[in-house]
Every structure is written in C-alpha cells, then in structure tokens.
Copies of this chain bind each other. A is one copy, B any other.
C-alpha cells in the first residue's frame, strides 16, 4: 500500500495534472505528423482535431506547460514538438528491457513506435533456455539468469513485462531489485511494488470488456424491457444458493473457464 501519499504540493509549479500528462503523447504524435508535412504553425482547433480532443482541453493542457503559443496565430509546430518532448523526458534516450518474449513480447520488440520515441530496446529476456540466443527483431534473446547484469550494464530504469501472469510478480521483483523504477505490465495480474516505483498496465482483454459493456447497452436500448428484467428481483437474492441461479437469458452463468 502506498502510505499516506495524499498529494504533492511541492515547492514550485510542479503540478502537471495526470490527465494532461496522459494526453501529451497524443499531442506529440499529432504534431509529429504536422512536422513531417512541414506545417509551420497550427491553431488549437486544428491540433485538437488531429489529436482527437477538444480545443479548450488542449489549450488548458498547454497552459500547464507554459505559454508556448502566439495569440491570433497559433502554435509553432517545431517548437511545441520540442517543448512537449522535453516535458515528457524524450530528449534523452531511455533503454528498456522486454521480459517475456512470447507472441506479445516479440510484437513489442518489433514495434517501431518505441524506437521512434526515444526508447531503445536494450535487451530481450526470456526464461526459456530454448529461446536464448535466438534472434528476435534482430537481437538475440537473453536468458533470465542474466537479468540483473543486463539491467545494470545498460542502466535500464524502465522494464516491460510480457510474461504469463504467473511469472509477472517474480520478474517484477527482480527488475525492481536490480534498479528498475518504471514498469509497463502486459501480464493480466496486479503487481505490488515498493513506493517510488511506477507501474502502468495494459490489459488487452479489459479494453474489450469495456467495449462489450457499451455494446450491450446499445443493444439494450432497443429492447429496454429485457435489460430491466435481467435485474434479479431483490427478494430472490435473500433465498438459497445464488451461484447456480439461472441467468436472465435462461442460462447458467457459464463464464470464465480459465
């Protein structure tokens, strides 16, 4: 548990909201596109459209970084690219390791979006001895035994976990012990880490489940009565066993085999 870390008032204007930070990469991507097309300046309206947000939000976000625009004109594309890159820490090179070179790990290793944004894949690590030495994305897979040495030799502070869920915590512990302080976790499990270590998670099936929720609701709007019927009457809950209750569609739960 993170103790009483309520919020950080900090001394200086160190407070870029988390929601804003999460959008900076979006702006950066949009700006990079404009830059490649040699567009010199862009208005908040145009950039917002390219990034998929509204312009008020974008302007507010930028206001946390400073006043980088020109009233009546807009923003200088190159200048903004640089400012946002700097704010995100992308003007320096971040060596990362990817642990777990299965389908997903290999896909990540091959993913161009990392290298193009200041991230350098320093090593690919897998626990399977059969993988050791095999080239993936033009780079030999290394064995987990050498994890600590690899982290240390390369000064890695960011680790990507793409192992099965069962191995993730153990890998995480070793990464942290070796000095990694930021982890991107693709394994469908909750990682516990000491204070000062950041974890972000990407769970592919969670995103689909959120879509399913909304999809269901869309369908339910056509026949709202059915959805209402699906709500079990409160009285029923008080009765006997609940687990084997029939579903509203006339079928058993039947979810989650593994």
Contacts and interface: CB of A to CB of B under 8 A. Distances in A.
Interface of A: 8, 10-14, 21-22, 24-26, 28-30, 32, 35, 40, 50-52, 66-68, 70, 76, 78-79, 81-82, 85-92, 94, 96, 102-104, 106-108, 110-114, 116-119, 157-158, 160, 181-184, 188, 190, 196, 198, 200, 202-218, 224, 227-228, 230-232, 234, 237, 242-243, 245, 247-249, 251-258
A136 B88 CA distance: 37
Given A25-B206, A82-B255, A94 B215 contact: yes
A209 to B, nearest CB: 4
Given A228-B12, A243-B76, A245-B82, A87 B213 contact: yes
A190 B256 contact: no
Interface centre among A24, A66, A217, A248 (most CB of B within 10 A): A217
Contact of A92 (B103, B198, B249, B256): B249
A25 B200 CA distance: 16
A78 B202 contact: no
A35 B257 CA distance: 10
A204 to B, nearest CB: 6
Contact of A113 (B188, B231, B232): B188
Contacts of A26: 190, 206
A228 B51 CA distance: 29
Contacts of A119: 205, 208, 212
